[in-house]
A and B are shown apart, each in its own frame.
Chain A
Amino acid sequence: MLAHLPIFQVIIPLMAAPLCLFLRHSRLVWLFSVIVSGLALSISIILLQQVMSSGIIIYEMGGWNAPWGIEYRIDKFSAFMQLIITSVSTTILLSAQTSIEKEITEDKHTLFYILYLLSLTGMLGIVSTGDVFNAFVFLEISSLSAYALIALGRDRRALWAAYQYLIMGTIGATFILIAIGLMYQMTGTLNMNDLSRRLPEVAQTRTVFTAFTFVIVGLCLKLALFPLHHWLPNAYAFAPSIVTAFFAATATKVAIYLLIRFTFSVFGLSFAFTTLPLQILFVVLGLLGIFVASTAAIYQKNVKQLFAYSSLAQVGYMIVGLSISTVSGLTATLLHLFNHALMKSALFLALGAVMYRIGSVQLSQFQGLGRQMPLTMAAIVVGGLSLIGVPLTVGFVSKWYLIMALIENGWWPVTVLILLGSVLAIVYVWRIVEIAYFKPPLPAVNQDRELIKEAPLSFLVPIWVLVMANIYFGIDTRLSVQVAEAAAQSLFGVSP
């Protein structure tokens, strides 16, 4: 039983998705999805414990040995990612039913949960598998369900955002497919571990260079690295609130996971950063991303869009971290993966609560909400402080590790720019605080506005669980740092 956990992790949500159709009743489906996601969470906790104590878990699909069969390879990094995905997904699902009652029509509730579970399957599959083609298939499972989920948004612009995401996402995925073909052509294998052993022999060929370029560009499209980020802000802004909260915390992270897998494990660090000038490219694009996206965030009128741009900036920090290509730099990136998932899920869930109460997330509508929805707004403030990187929040921990890694490497100019980027975060978070707390409530056009009260408990509990996690992991960093460090070290150990 325990030996089969790696495959259960993927197969349970996959099988559960069509089963939702039989339950029909919306609340039952919700309960079922929460249970499935909770099950995945408990599996990922067990797997993480196993991996931390006894090393890599290898699961051979159908008993076929590795280069022939598909193997699932759970190392520290995979288990860490699984924990992030499943914990965020479970917490967010708790308030899903309340939120979609207002945002999605009744007949589509079941479809929503099916797509949600499929998307979860795809993400868990990507981080578990040790086979590049399998990773591509899971990437497409999660992306296709993502396009459909985004199109469920109430605003018609959600459709347009989903369409644009579909076009960009498919181009990205096809690039990855081309790269996999080229790699297979040169090495005759699809297994990541096998590839990492065979690629160095043929590393100096143009085919491998081309494969590497395709995979990096394809993944950068998926993870929305500046300047390939165009699809993201609208997709996040117009999707249903629950979908935004889930994807902002996990979707780009999974693409970053694949990027790290390909550069560190498959192609190897010396190939990626020495033979090819990826390092300088990533530092420049990461920093540009931080500045362009943070500046754009300041000018947004829609708060969801504002935080979507801020997500782009956070991707920039992660890319800068991994481009340092030292253990401490990679640790900073992995920590930020975890911490940013906590911040953004809390923030977007709180925005979901605002959407539930006032039906809009336009910044101008936030006037006076500080008094009308004190607990929700307090959550947004704590999340915002965490984004800025104020001590006692998780944001501070990841920025601290990033800056230490930069200084260790003597990259002073980059350190200064990173700190300047945080100043921009202060500006956009302050704009929300100012309007919510220091402006009088909007004059009552009709009765509704007077009646705005605190969000229901089904929102407040998950939001505050996430906010408390933001603070807890900002003070007690043992778990996150220990796992991130161990994962980073194992990634450096694997690379040839």
Chain B
Amino acid sequence: MMFMGLYNYWIVVVLMMIGLYIVIAHGNLIKKIVGLTIFQTSVFIFYISIAKVDGGTAPILEDGVSQYSNPLPHVLILTAIVVGIATTALGLALAVRLKEAYGSIEEKHIQDLDNHTLENQSKDEQGC
């Protein structure tokens, strides 16, 4: 009963862990951003869930209705969605630029290229 009653919170937790796992485990920059988006979306669902008042209807004034759901978290999450979109857009833009600069969107590949640059630099210094 407890489990079923709180099922949306369980979905939040599961989505959150899936998102975080993708960010940590995947080396592909686009997949990382997808993971980040899933992670953020789980928080949106969480906010929507806490706004629900048992027996309350949509928060629009109407005769004969005395109990409304809480509209504030909805408003908050609208702002957070905007922030999330800005983050995703910026992350994807960076991924495009990274692809142009490194020719790859794999974390491992980019790090190899960076290490290569470092080695060359120290060789140059010895050359001097």
A residues contacting B by CB (< 8 A) are 133, 136-137, 140, 144, 147-148, 151, 156-157, 159-160, 162-163, 166-167, 170-171, 173-174, 177-178, 181, 184-185, 301, 362, 364, 442-443
Note all chain B residues with C-beta closer than 8 A to A184. Answer: 50, 72-73
Q: Mark B52-67, 1 if CB is under 8 A from A, else 0.
A: 0000000000000000
Q: Are A159 and B94 in contact (CB under 8 A)?
A: yes
Main secondary structure of the interface of B (DSSP, over half): helix
In the assembled complex, the CB of A461 is this many whole angstroms from the nearest CB of chain B, namely 33
Given contacts A144-B87, A157-B114, 12 further A-B contacts (CB under 8 A): A140-B83, A144-B83, A151-B94, A156-B102, A163-B91, A163-B95, A170-B91, A171-B23, A181-B47, A301-B121, A362-B125, A364-B128
Name the residue on B nearest A445 (C-beta).
B128
With A and B bound together, what is the CA distance between A181 and B42 in angstroms? 12
Name the residue on A nearest B29 (C-beta).
A163
Query: Is B14 part of the contact surface with A, judged by Cβ < 8 Å?
Result: no
Question: Quick one: which of B3-58 are within 8 Å of A by CB?
Answer: 20, 23, 29, 32, 36, 39-40, 43, 46-47, 50
Name the residue on B nearest A155 (C-beta).
B117
Task: Give the residue of B50, B76, B117 whose beta carbon is less than 8 angstroms from that of A133.
Answer: B76
Name the residue on B nearest A141 (C-beta).
B83
Q: Are A181 and B83 in contact (CB under 8 A)?
A: no
Main secondary structure of the interface of A (DSSP, over half): helix
Q: Are A151 and B128 in contact (CB under 8 A)?
A: no
Q: Are A144 and B90 in contact (CB under 8 A)?
A: yes
What are 25 contact pairs spanning A and B, CB under 8 A? Answer: A133-B76, A133-B79, A136-B80, A144-B86, A147-B90, A157-B117, A159-B98, A166-B91, A166-B94, A167-B36, A170-B87, A170-B91, A171-B20, A171-B39, A173-B83, A174-B40, A177-B80, A181-B43, A181-B47, A181-B50, A184-B50, A184-B72, A184-B73, A362-B125, A364-B128
Closest 6 CB pairs of A and B: A156-B101, A140-B83, A185-B50, A163-B94, A364-B125, A159-B98
Name the residue on A nearest B125 (C-beta).
A364
Question: Quick one: which of B68-89 are within 8 Å of A by CB?
Answer: 72-73, 76, 79-80, 83, 86-87
Q: Are B98 and A160 in contact (CB under 8 A)?
A: yes
Query: Is B97 part of the contact surface with A, judged by Cβ < 8 Å?
Result: yes
With A and B bound together, what is the CA distance between A151 and B33 in angstroms? 17
Note all chain B residues with C-beta closer than 8 A to A173. Answer: 83
In the assembled complex, the CB of B60 is this many whole angstroms from the nearest CB of chain A, namely 19
With A and B bound together, what is the CA distance between A156 and B104 in angstroms? 13
Name the residue on A nearest B99 (C-beta).
A159
Note all chain B residues with C-beta closer than 8 A to A364. Answer: 125, 128
Note all chain B residues with C-beta closer than 8 A to A147. Answer: 90, 94
In the assembled complex, the CB of B94 is this many whole angstroms from the nearest CB of chain A, namely 5
With A and B bound together, what is the CA distance between A166 and B73 in angstroms? 25
With A and B bound together, what is the CA distance between A137 and B82 in angstroms? 10
Q: Are A301 and B91 in contact (CB under 8 A)?
A: no
Name the residue on A nearest B70 (C-beta).
A188
In the assembled complex, the CB of A368 is this many whole angstroms from the nearest CB of chain B, namely 13
Name the residue on A nearest B44 (C-beta).
A177
Note all chain B residues with C-beta closer than 8 A to A136. Answer: 80
Task: Give the residue of B40, B87, B114 whose beta carbon is less than 8 angstroms from that of A160.
Answer: B114
In the assembled complex, the CB of A126 is this many whole angstroms from the nearest CB of chain B, namely 14
Q: Are B98 and A163 in contact (CB under 8 A)?
A: yes
Note all chain A residues with C-beta closer than 8 A to B90. Answer: 144, 147-148, 166
Q: Are A177 and B91 in contact (CB under 8 A)?
A: no
Q: Are A301 and B97 in contact (CB under 8 A)?
A: no
Q: Are A170 and B121 in contact (CB under 8 A)?
A: no
Q: Are A174 and B98 in contact (CB under 8 A)?
A: no
With A and B bound together, what is the CA distance between A184 and B79 in angstroms? 16
Name the residue on B nearest A145 (C-beta).
B90
Note all chain B residues with C-beta closer than 8 A to A162. Answer: 94
With A and B bound together, what is the CA distance between A174 and B45 in angstroms? 13
In the assembled complex, the CB of A17 is this many whole angstroms from the nearest CB of chain B, namely 14
With A and B bound together, what is the CA distance between A184 and B77 in angstroms? 13
